[in-house]
Amino acid sequence: MREDRNAPRRQNVKGATNRPEETRMSDLPKTVEIIEVGPRDGLQIEPRILTTSDKVRLIDALADAGLKEIEAGSFVNPKAVPQMADTNELFDMLNRRPGVRYRALWLNPKGLERALSNGKVDIDGKLTITASETFIKRNTNRSIDETFAEMPAWIQRYRDAGIATNSIGVMAAFGCNFEGYIPEERVVGLVARAMQVMADNGCKLENLSLADTMGWGSPAQMKSLVGKIRNKWPDLHVKLHLHDTRGCAVANAVAAMEVGVSEFDSSVGGLGGCPFAGHKGAAGNICTEDLAFACGEMGVETGIDLDALVEAAKLAEDLVGHQLPGKVMKGGTLTRFKDHHA
Amino acid sequence: MREDRNAPRRQNVKGATNRPEETRMSDLPKTVEIIEVGPRDGLQIEPRILTTSDKVRLIDALADAGLKEIEAGSFVNPKAVPQMADTNELFDMLNRRPGVRYRALWLNPKGLERALSNGKVDIDGKLTITASETFIKRNTNRSIDETFAEMPAWIQRYRDAGIATNSIGVMAAFGCNFEGYIPEERVVGLVARAMQVMADNGCKLENLSLADTMGWGSPAQMKSLVGKIRNKWPDLHVKLHLHDTRGCAVANAVAAMEVGVSEFDSSVGGLGGCPFAGHKGAAGNICTEDLAFACGEMGVETGIDLDALVEAAKLAEDLVGHQLPGKVMKGGTLTRFKDHHA
């Protein structure tokens, strides 16, 4: 049993009461899958460049804490993102744990080629679109139409590598600092359009990732947009990529769970930031251990060892050299009060 | 119109979309009342002692941002809580805004006497109990039974001052670092017992404050315990005093709203900390502007000017001399995208 360093030092708490079963909300999923994106989405904004071996230590710690899918790096221009310059070496050095998928990001055909030639990257056939015309142009130098026009070529590239394209991510799905709130019908329309492109090119959209890239969403918006999409396409698997820019991330995840979402991206320690917030201290992705804590307290299984994850968050804090926004890592877990420790 | 310093500098956003009405969750209260406790519950843990005039500046800024009830200080032992030593002078110096209640805390008859003799404190007839026997003894040197035994004398003290006792606060209502999870039936039992004591002493329990003092609650626990209490006593007004020790505070507030809670304590900037967490960086009370933001995005009215409140949070940060955990103050408000600015 790991010890919670932040808690009073009492291993056997006299008269301790375990979480009552009655607090389980019946409309929550039984299990939630958490995808760790800290080593990529989190680290990429950090000014201190970590050594490859330190990144491997962090990724190993995350896998050992029970995370089954980890975004380990990105095959992007090293001049644009110096922190990710060693992604190829990183994948060569990873101590792969059985059953864990190690993913990466790429933005252009060259990046995909590098990921494919590395040979150790778990590659999904995933397309990406952005719900804001202004933002997609600033971020990718392409319009929404141009991005759709390029999709058949991407599908072919994946097919050439033996990979079926079955996923799309919609960035800025709730709001955009440049355009304001994103109308829900626009997101629904983008999903329908991607679905058609995939069908026209011999594949099928099965997984949708809705990204609240700039932290605009509220619990009400989660329920409303996800509800609309699930009503329209009940078989579509919806994942959320949440940012905590305005403090709603955990509330948004809980609201999404209440309408059936069972998969989330998150970042250990809340590692990362928001390049669009205009404040270097702005929060980044939803914090992995805070999300896992909330799940655990509501009886939703994540397969995560929360004490081990907090140790990984403390390692991340040491590696980047400044305090991370995660709360559980400072407030302490409650695992010693659970049944199996009683 | 105040400007959001963190946002791109565009007052009129071309093509900006306002929050869609459809995202309003029908089971949320129309209005939420937020009670600002930062100047007391937040500041008391801060090592830097603020000048009385700086406290007045902060309290004025909070009142000007639309907060209608502010816990301004406490009449406690200045040796135990040096930050609160000037509460008497503070109330003399306050620039009272019409319609704003300025409250204080006291823990013993002498404290109440000081508040009464000051003459400028808005005094509620409120009793306090704690759901953890270990914690109440450590915190007040009294058992739960002894605390109940003293209640008739407190009711009489308030009555002598012309004040009806109609409220009780239950501390550690969800969990306690010393005792573990608090069984819901224990909390229900404490409320019933307080109700009886009040009835036996010629007054009536109308307001219940449930305090998650050590940040143990989850959204599921909020719904379950509040639901039980509201089912049993539909006319009892329930307020929540939430701490963000483990990152669930906003999610807990939203869950509580969904079962009808419409009043919350909170602290500007997330000012404060948790003396029980064993980590000086542990989060304190739920952050006022993050809560107000979540409400606003869901169509729940708070009467708060969010941009003005963010300025108050920045003032609080300047006064205490270190970064506060609030997210909206760093991520930026979205007020410029709202209807009245479009």
pLDDT value of position B46: 93
pLDDT value of position A8: 36
Q: Once rounded to an integer, what is the mean pLDDT over residues A127-138?
A: 97
Q: How far is CA B262 from CA A226, B129, B257, B265, B306, in A?
A: 26, 22, 6, 11, 18
Q: Residue A290: which of A256, A312, A267 has the closest Cα?
A: A267
Chain A residues lying within 8 Å of B184, measured CB to CB: 20, 22-23
- CATH fold, domain B140-255, is TIM Barrel (3.20.20)
Q: How many CA atoms lie within 13 A of B298 on its CB side?
A: 33
**Average pLDDT, rounded, for chain B:** 91
pLDDT value of position A339: 59
Q: Report pLDDT digits (tens) over B62-82.
A: 999 999 999 999 999 999 999
**Chosen from B9, B187, B244, B248 to mutate, greatest number of chain A CBs within 10 A:** B248
Contact state of B178 with A248 under an 8 Å Cβ cutoff: no
Q: Report pLDDT digits (tens) over A172-225.
A: 999 999 999 999 999 999 999 999 999 999 999 999 999 999 999 999 999 999
- Give the tokens for residue B149: 């035994």
Q: Reply yes or no on whether the pLDDT at B160 is more than 60.
A: yes
Above pLDDT 70, what percent of chain A? Answer: 91
Return phi, psi of residue B207, to 5°.
-125, 130
Q: Reply yes or no on whether the pLDDT at B4 is more than 60.
A: no
Distance from CA of A270 to the nearest CA of B (A): 11
Contact state of B220 with A298 under an 8 Å Cβ cutoff: yes
> Of the CATH numbers 3.30.300.30, 3.40.50.300, 3.20.20.70, 2.60.40.420, which one belongs to the domain with range B28-123+267-342?
3.20.20.70
Chain B residues lying within 8 Å of A251, measured CB to CB: 219, 250-251, 253-254, 294
**Chosen from B5, B23, B339 to mutate, greatest number of chain A CBs within 10 A:** B23
Chain A residues lying within 8 Å of B175, measured CB to CB: 334, 337
For Cα atoms A65, A67, A72, give the angle at the middle one, nearest 5 degrees.
110
Which H/E stretch holds residue A181? Answer: strand A180-181
ipTM exceeding 0.85, yes/no: yes
Q: Report pLDDT digits (tens) over B223-244.
A: 999 999 999 999 999 999 999 9
Nearest-angstrom CA–CA distance, B70 and B284:
17
Q: Reply yes or no on whether the pLDDT at A18 is more than 80.
A: no
Q: Which of A176, A248, A274, A295 is catalytic?
A: A274
Q: Reply yes or no on whether the pLDDT at B171 is more than 70.
A: yes
Q: Once rounded to an integer, what is the mean pLDDT over residues A151-159?
A: 98
Q: What is the dihedral of CA B7, B8, B9, B10, to 10 degrees?
A: -100
Q: Residue B326: which of A216, A176, A248, A288 has the closest Cα?
A: A248
Chain A residues lying within 8 Å of B337, measured CB to CB: 175, 180-181
pLDDT value of position A190: 98
Nearest-angstrom CA–CA distance, A79 and A270:
25
8 Å CB contact between B320 and A234: no
pLDDT value of position B5: 35
pLDDT value of position B339: 59
Q: CATH 3.20.20.70: which residues of chain B? A: 28-123+267-342, 140-255
pLDDT value of position A93: 96
- CATH fold, domain A125-263, is TIM Barrel (3.20.20)
Q: One-letter amino acid identity for B184?
A: E
Q: Reply yes or no on whether the pLDDT at A20 is more than 60.
A: no
pLDDT value of position B19: 47
**Confidence band (pLDDT; 50, 70, 90) for B25?**
low
Q: How far is CA A256 from CA A30, A180, A223, A226, in A?
A: 14, 21, 6, 7
Nearest-angstrom CA–CA distance, A302 and A340:
16
Q: Reply yes or no on whether the pLDDT at A248 is more than 50.
A: yes
For Cα atoms A38, A41, A45, give the angle at the middle one, nearest 5 degrees.
105
pLDDT value of position B280: 75
**Confidence band (pLDDT; 50, 70, 90) for A40?**
very high
Q: Which of B176, B274, B287, B295 is catalytic?
A: B274
Q: Reply yes or no on whether the pLDDT at B14 is more than 80.
A: no
Between B162 and B25, the higher pLDDT residue: B162
Q: Once rounded to an integer, what is the mean pLDDT over residues A164-172?
A: 98
Q: CATH 3.20.20.70: which residues of chain A? A: 28-123+267-342, 125-263
What is the interface size between A and B, counted as CB pairs within 8 Å?
Answer: 224
Distance from CA of B87 to the nearest CA of A (A): 30
DSSP letter string over B260-294?
T--EEEEBGGG----TTSS-TT---BPBHHHHHHH
User: What is the reported pTM?
Assistant: 0.92
**Confidence band (pLDDT; 50, 70, 90) for B26?**
low
Residue A129 per-residue DSSP state: E
8 Å CB contact between A190 and A228: no
Residue A274 is a catalytic residue = yes
8 Å CB contact between B191 and B170: yes
Q: Once rounded to an integer, what is the mean pLDDT over residues A227-249?
A: 97
